[in-house]
Amino acid sequence: MIEREQVLHVARLSRLRLSEDEIDILTGELASILDHVDKLAEVDIEGVEPTSHVVPLENVLRADEPRPSLDREVALSQAPDPHDGAFRVPSPQAEA
């Protein structure tokens, strides 16, 4: 069971200012959490492989294979103000 002084200590470390009601509520909630952790510690996990996800994950993305890209002139053909083979955009300071 967690005690009031321990809740106050954790609150002080966390720089939390708690009211008396909050201290009482958190004491009960933290005690409940610690009881649950104690129950989990009783579970036999011998032979259980560690996992990072409940279900196995697979890469669903396509293979990253090189292929021809869009021609630069075609890409810039609709740009309002191309410059030296690149898109020219207004300076953020100019908009302010």
Predicted local distance difference test score (pLDDT) of residue 94: 63
List, in order of start, the domains of the chain with CATH numbers.
Answer: 4-41 (1.10.20.60)
pLDDT digits (tens, 9 = 90+) for 46-91: 998 888 888 877 777 888 899 999 999 999 999 999 999 999 988 8
Q: Does residue 25 contact residue 16 with C-beta atoms inside 8 Å? A: no
Distance in angstroms (rounded) separating the CA atoms of residues 65 and 3: 60
Distance in angstroms (rounded) separating the CA atoms of residues 51 and 66: 33
Predicted local distance difference test score (pLDDT) of residue 76: 93
Percent share of the chain, pLDDT over 70: 97
Distance in angstroms (rounded) separating the CA atoms of residues 32 and 52: 25
User: What average pLDDT score do residues 27-45 get?
Assistant: 93
Predicted local distance difference test score (pLDDT) of residue 84: 92
Question: Which long-range contacts link 29-36 to residues 24+ away (Cβ below 8 Å)?
Answer: 30/2, 30/6, 31/1, 31/2, 34/2
Q: What's the mean per-residue pLDDT of the chain?
A: 89
Predicted local distance difference test score (pLDDT) of residue 90: 84
